[in-house]
Structure 1
Amino acid sequence: MKKYRLNNRSGSINIWFVTGLALAVAVVLFLTHDIIITNVLAWRICHSDPRPKTFIKKTVDYPESIYWEDNIYPGFDEKDRLLMIRNYLDGVHLKTMGLNAPDGSVFVFTANPGDWRVSNSMHKKSQNDWKEYFKQIESESRAIAAKGQHISRDDLPSFNYSVVFNPVPLSDFARRYLWSDEVVIRDNRTDEIIAFNRRLMHRWYLLNPDVALGNRFYYPHAMCGENQFYTAAHRVFITIHPKSGNFHGMDINYYLFRK
């Protein structure tokens, strides 16, 4: 009888041990399942075509005219168009700019050095100088925008270069864990793709949530491709230096979170 009781107790201990171990494994798998799935999916996507995911064949000093098409936001709204004019349409290296709008139409803007005459002559030493400078370029940007053309996509004129941003299709399952987008920069005169970047970003993990800011769609480091969405354009058109911000008033990581 004593021997039976001992075996029975031993069996109970084994059952509790196995149950506890199973629960521990289940908790670990629950907390890490997104990491496992993300990395398996990313390995397959990053090792598939196109390869390489990022390349720049040449840089351009004087593009003169560029058509920008963003199909993720999608398009450039009024504030974004002013930002693009202010940052890139310097009238020297870039004289004509086309921007797609959210409704599918296109805005075309032109500028020459005279359009920025006042701001280019301003001294920027004190904090107040910089304040007045940005106030002036805002005024000059609006003056350039007021002279712009609003046309349909079918009436798009010729541009030397085009910069197109697109979301990369993923399966419904993969989209739960990953985000992918690409930028294609083309020399329209030769129809050659001179730069390309396709990046793959993963969503925040359960074990690594976005506690710092809390409103970003994906982790800021790419699993493949360049981290920064706009890096390729900045590295190709090397003489066009943005004065403030990028292409949109809201970074794409925050935009996708709110979308």
Structure 2
Amino acid sequence: MDTEAELTRRGHSSPGTGEGRPRSAFRGSARGLAGRGLRALPTWRGAVVLGVLCTAFLLLLSNFVVQPFLIPSRSMEPTLRVGDRVLVNKLAYRFGDQPRRGEVVVFDGTGSFVREPAAVDPVAGLVRGAASALGIGEPSETDFVKRVIGVGGDAVVCCDAEGRIEVNGAPVDEPYLYPGDTPSKVPFRIVVPLGTLWVMGDHRSQSRDSRDHLGEPGGGMVPVEKVIGRADWIGWPVSRWGATVPRGGGTAGGGHG
């Protein structure tokens, strides 16, 4: 009897114990994995913090190293097309180097191409400035992209007997001009003051540039200190990746050539 009772107890307890342990271990393991998985997933707060940090990093990069710039007009065709996003090298002139003839630069035209802008809502200005800096919004109305034709001390004349622009008495080879455009239909003869630039668009018939401000204060000259950077690369669209902005336009004479 005792033996049967003991066997009976074992028969009831052993399966229960044997089956219960795996179930208990599985459930505990599942709960542990689920807990670890949930803890590994970022919370909405973490996602917000990560987004803020990424945006701050991009803004710092844009302000000090490379800034994307959306091309809004046809003034630089065929070199730059409407909708292109060029990457502006802000370090190009940061360490004492100066813009050179033939380079494509982005500059703040306030005081040279446009009058001082009226006061704007600071919050709206901040949002627009951030969008522009990240290359996802329209550029500021005071920012322009043009090609450097003359630097400080250059004598720039349009045009010689063959219709070419001359810099310091030497004709300028301009392979970047829009097909069918002449170097300029507006005659001019100027000497570029030191510390300034004479700039023009590649699509001369569609570009408002230094020629259009000859009779205004500053005479269409862009102060070097207003240059934001050099447009070195086309970053968008994908079909134009890796296409560098041609510098061309070599000239002779003084200044930075």
TM normalised by structure 2 equals 0.26
Name the larger-Rg structure: 2
Task: Say which structure is richer in helix.
Answer: 1
TM normalised by structure 1 equals 0.26
